[in-house]
Structure 1
Amino acid sequence: MGHDINGLHHVGHIVQDMDQAMERYRRLGFTVTAPAYPVMPTTPGGPVEPFGVANAHVHFPRGFVELVAVIGDTGRMPGDARPIPLQVPEDKVPGLRAAIRATAANITSFLQRFQGVHIMIADTPDIDRVAARLTADGVSHGGVHDIQRPVETATGTRMEPARYLEVSDPDLPPGRVPEGRIGFAENTPAEAPQDRRHTDHPNGSTGLVECVLCVADTALPELERRYGSYFGRARHGRVTRFDRANVTVVAASALADLLPGERPAVLPAFVAYAVAVRDLSATEKLLRSNGIPVTRTGPEEMSVPTSAALGVAIIFRQDG
């Protein structure tokens, strides 16, 4: 179980203001792509309009961090935002708009809990195998979806196929579990690699290497059972680690040992994610020069607090 997982595909940071988030991430030393947002006509043959959610990305050679903001009634977008026309047969338009509205409603509900990370997607080379495994284990999910997603290459943005699956809690809206949105994604072999310009970060980060979930102490046994169904065998110690997915689960009473000073607003919550960096000392120097507070949490690790990173602690860890 869990041998069909290759670590993290991405985490999703839900933000109130995309302009503010992009500015903050750039101060943190990340290269951030221009945000994109979907547009499509409200009526057949009518003018297109933005709707749903806008997102921007921090890319690594494997995996990414996604910044997500709901498009409000005003439809206001950051100045460098790129519209992505959604082209589907006319008879499919109502269903697609309904699906995107449902996604936006979920994102809005996440933001009402707190600004921060609410999405964690694992990478898989075989999503059909994952779906069959989850079904056999009695895990509720929405099935495998085939989509087109924008991919930035050296020659511009193009739509490439991808496949994903979302885990569901029967007592919550579709695509929801208590901590947010959890799923699996498989990129097709035909997908073009990302433009390497977007994976060169001033802070020297080289990859997304961990996501940290904090839960109430009393909820820890059930959470470990549930995540065992998703991600396979865990490694127990001071915290519980699901190594194949690069997911760490920590009880609230032990969080201060892992991330000093952090207190999640609600539980359960994704409280942090970690990136590897080429030179931790150089990263620390850049962050401090940009006015970003850091705390050394070990000889080869430091963290930026949630107060400085829009609701999520970011761990920087020496690569290798």
Structure 2
Amino acid sequence: MPHDIARLHHVGHVVSDMTQAMTLYRRLGFHVPPPSVPALAPREGAAPEPFGAANTHAELSRSFVELVTPVQPGTMAGLPPDARIVPLQAPPEKLPLVQSRIETASAQLGGWRDRFEGLHILMFSSPDVDGTGNRLSAAGVGHGGVNTVGRPVETPDGVRTEPVRYLEIDGAPEGRVGVVADLDPEFQHARHLDHPNGARDLVEAVLCVPDGQLPLFRQRYERYLGRPISAEGPVTLLTEADLPGLLPGEDPRAAPALVAFTVAVPDIARVRALLSENGLPVRETARGELFVPADATLGAAVIFREV
């Protein structure tokens, strides 16, 4: 029987300055479009003003890397001039609830950013998110149930709304952990996959846990995945003491913390040349992959694996 969680849906890199982060990711060789930011009129008849959080994606074949930053209400500080304002659209009776949820999520992002810039979001992909939710409940894993939100997507026919179904797992100290329904094939043709570094897919997230707590985290993630943790991913668990053994020179800013993610690329020599040309430091993992250390990437080491 196939597992209901076989891979990652996305990781989220929480940053302070979206313009700076986008410049960094472009130097890393990712195609990163302008971010979107929700907006709401502060009073009837007024123009919508940005609030909540702005985000953009480095899209991959079946996954993506999200850049996200909380927004200061009413200002575009830290956002590029081509950021896309997306006015909230909801029935009047539901608008206060939508606004409240966005403000709560933004405050949470701000708390994580203040802890450290880096990875604070880890979402797995499932072909049956409702079934996964039932399995997690049966395994005693608390979650908020399956929710649906709309995500604006640029398509050749204009902006369309992609429905996104997801659940968030309760009580994960490393950040927001959850499960999202597999990307909708109807919207795949609109994804930008032409990355200069050749990145094809998100294949691993690396979670560093306090020394002595590895068994507890392993047990928890095996309940999430519904199977034993394996070397094939999609998540690698290690302790603070063991982190330099995989990523030489890395020192986690806190633990537990998501410290790195891995993308699959077809030509590692091409990646090495691109990173060198763009002035980024390059090291090798214990597995022989390339990685750019966290102190050069706003707190999240980026690993490139040739496949």
Q: TM-score, normalised by structure 2?
A: 0.94
Name the SS for the 1:227 alignment partner: helix
Provide runs of 4+ in structure 1 moved above 6 Å: none
Aligned twin of 1:173: none
Q: Is 1:202 equivalent to 2:196 in the alignment?
A: yes
The Cα offsets for residues 113-162 of structure 1, whole Å up to 9 and x where unpaired, read as 10001000000111111111111111111111011112232333321111
CA contact (8 A) 1:256 1:262 kept: yes
Aligned twin of 1:91: 93
CA contact (8 A) 2:145 2:168 kept: yes
Q: Which amino acid aligns with 1:80?
A: D
Name the SS for the 1:217 alignment partner: coil
Aligned-residue RMSD, C-alpha: 1.8
CA contact (8 A) 2:221 2:229 kept: no
Q: Is 1:303 equivalent to 2:298 in the alignment?
A: no
Q: TM-score, normalised by structure 1?
A: 0.91
Aligned twin of 1:172: none
Q: Which amino acid aligns with 1:182?
A: V
Shift of 1:299: 7.2
What is the 5 A alignment of 1:230-269? 230-235=224-229, 241=231, 243=233, 246-269=234-257
Q: Which amino acid aligns with 1:114?
A: F
What is the 5 A alignment of 1:81-230? 81-169=83-171, 177-187=172-182, 189=184, 191-196=186-191, 198-230=192-224
Shift of 1:193: 1.2
Q: Is 1:17 equivalent to 2:17 in the alignment?
A: yes
Residue number among 59, 78, 81 corresponding to 2:80 in the alignment: 78
Name the SS for the 1:218 alignment partner: coil
Q: Which amino acid aligns with 2:268?
A: L
Name the SS for the 1:192 alignment partner: helix
Shift of 1:74: 4.8
Shift of 1:188: 6.8
CA contact (8 A) 1:6 1:125 kept: no
CA 95–59 in structure 1, closer or farther in 2 if over 3 Å, else same: same
Name the SS for the 2:112 alignment partner: helix
- Say how many residue pairs are matched: 305
CA contact (8 A) 1:151 1:194 kept: no
CA contact (8 A) 1:118 1:269 kept: yes
Query: Bigger shift: 113-122 or 36-45?
Result: 36-45
Identity in percent: 47
Shift of 1:41: 2.5
Name the SS for the 1:205 alignment partner: coil
Shift of 1:46: 4.1
